[in-house]
């Protein structure tokens, strides 16, 4: 199940410029990039906020890229490059949410 609030927060954090940058990496338009953001949020395991950021990124990139590529039909190499931009933003939003709850 997709976390719509997390998706909204990630899209807000990205802003139009970074969504356009993702679109360029993916070879799509902004709507295609937003679709990839949504598919990425949906593909992440619930435990994504656990562990060190570097460890989390290295563990998530491959499996998440595969899942997003399958969901969107976009080429795996393009999705992998886009996730290198996107996953740090998602982790940042999750970190902010955790700090706000404390």
- Integer CA distances (angstroms), 91 to 15, 20, 73, 94, in order: 16, 20, 24, 5
Residue with structure tokens 């982790």? 91
Q: What does pTM read for this prediction?
A: 0.83
State the Cα–Cα distance between residues 26 and 39, nearest whole angstrom.
14
Q: What is the pLDDT at residue 1?
A: 45
In eight-state DSSP terms, residue 87 is H
Residues of the chain with pLDDT under 50: 1
Helices of type H across the chain: 4-26, 30-43, 53-72, 76-101
Q: What is the pLDDT at residue 80?
A: 93
State the Cα–Cα distance between residues 37 and 21, nearest whole angstrom.
12
The Cβ of residue 38 has, within 10 Å, a number of other Cβ atoms equal to 18
């Amino acid at each position: 199940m997709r976390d719509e609030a997390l998706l909204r927060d990630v899209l807000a954090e990205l802003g139009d410029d970074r969504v356009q940058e993702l679109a360029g990496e993916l070879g799509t338009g902004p709507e295609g990039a937003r679709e990839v953001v949504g598919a990425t949020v949906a593909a992440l395991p619930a435990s994504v906020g656990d562990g060190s950021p570097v460890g989390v990124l290295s563990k998530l990139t491959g499996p998440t890229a595969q899942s997003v590529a399958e969901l969107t039909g976009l080429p795996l190499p393009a999705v992998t490059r886009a996730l290198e931009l996107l996953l740090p933003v998602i982790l940042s939003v999750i970190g902010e949410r955790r700090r706000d709850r404390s």
